[in-house]
Amino acid sequence: MNPCGGDLPGVLGDTMPFLCGGAWITVQATLGGMVLATALALAAGLAALSRRRAVRAVARVYLEFFRGTSVIVQMFWIFFALPVLTGYRVAPLFAGILALGLNLGAYGSEVVRGAVQAVPQAQREAAVALNLTPYQRMRYVILPQALVGMIPPLNNTYIELLKATSLVSAISVGDLIFESKALINTGSDRVTVMVLVMLFYLLLAAVITLCMRTLERRAARMVGRDVAAFRLRLKGGH
């Protein structure tokens, strides 16, 4: 039976089609936000490690600015206030993804910076001794090794991002939360609706974590490390 179909028995049949539609929007906002956040995290994280002060300063301002306020404030500002300044109206979902990416990208940049700094200095030195350029050192030696360390904290960032997508409902994007509110307002059983909403979020969070675990195992194999042993070492290190 189609779990999103209207032919489900009772209250499920009344609510699931709407919630599935909402979940699909939530997935879109999450994926869009993830792509933007990851790109910004890499750019800002590497910029924070630049030898040039000006570049570091830009990364720093970005980080402090977007960490200084929450997604909801940024989203409202981008959606309602920015068009007044620019004269362009942005589509609600796009404004939402923009705010999510900018905000979580700032947190992600700290993850990238930390993971790059955690790669042993000796690796950089070996790359210098082989006369690789600074770009080549980063691209072929340091970043691939930093990737393994990035994945577990990035998983947390992505889960936070998934949770923050709920805020797009406030700028009338029809995500899970938006649909649940609409259902509640039209008299659907509140308990059922909210239980289903929570299950959807748990499912999506589980999918993200599962993907990231797989990615971590692959990345760890690439650098010849055993994930279990690596995690143990991380824990012991603290």
Applying CB under 8 A, the span of 12-20, 39-47, 108-116, 180-188 interacting with another protein comes to 180-188
Q: Residue 6 or 195: which CB sits closer to another protein?
A: 195
Q: What are φ and ψ of residue 170, in 5° steps?
A: -75, -20
Among 187, 224, 236, 237, binds another protein (CB under 8 A): 224
Which residues neighbour 218 within 8 Å (Cβ) at sequence distance 6 or greater?
none
Using CB under 8 A as the binding rule, the residues of this chain from 121 to 140 that contact another protein are 122-123, 125-134, 136, 140
| Interaction of residue 186 with another protein, rule CB under 8 A | no
Contacts of 151 (CB under 8 A, 6+ apart): 212, 215, 216, 219
State the nearest-atom distance from the C-beta of 145 to another protein, in Å: 5
d(CA 156, CA 212): 10
The distance in angstroms from the start CA to the end CA of the chain is 49
Q: Is-contact 166 96, C-beta < 8 A? A: no
Does residue 85 belong to the site contacting another protein (CB under 8 A)?
A: yes
Range 61-80, binding another protein (CB under 8 A): 64-65, 67-70, 72-74, 76-77, 80
Token readout for 220 is 């760890």
Q: Compute the distance between CA of residue 117 and CA of residue 19 in angstroms, rounded to an integer.
A: 43
d(CA 10, CA 22): 20
Which residues, in sequence order, are CB contacts of 48 under 8 Å at separation 6+?
A: 56, 59, 60, 63, 109, 113
Q: Which of 20, 31, 56, 163 binds another protein (CB under 8 A)?
A: 163
Q: Does 153 bind another protein (CB under 8 A)?
A: no
Query: At closest approach, how far in Å is the CB of 83 from another protein?
Result: 8
Q: Which stretch binds another protein (CB under 8 A): 15-23, 41-49, 92-100, 192-200?
A: 192-200
**Contact footprint for another protein (CB under 8 A):** 64-65, 67-70, 72-74, 76-77, 80-81, 84-85, 122-123, 125-134, 136, 140-141, 144-145, 159, 162-167, 169-170, 176-177, 180-181, 184, 190-191, 194, 197-198, 201-202, 205-206, 222-225, 238
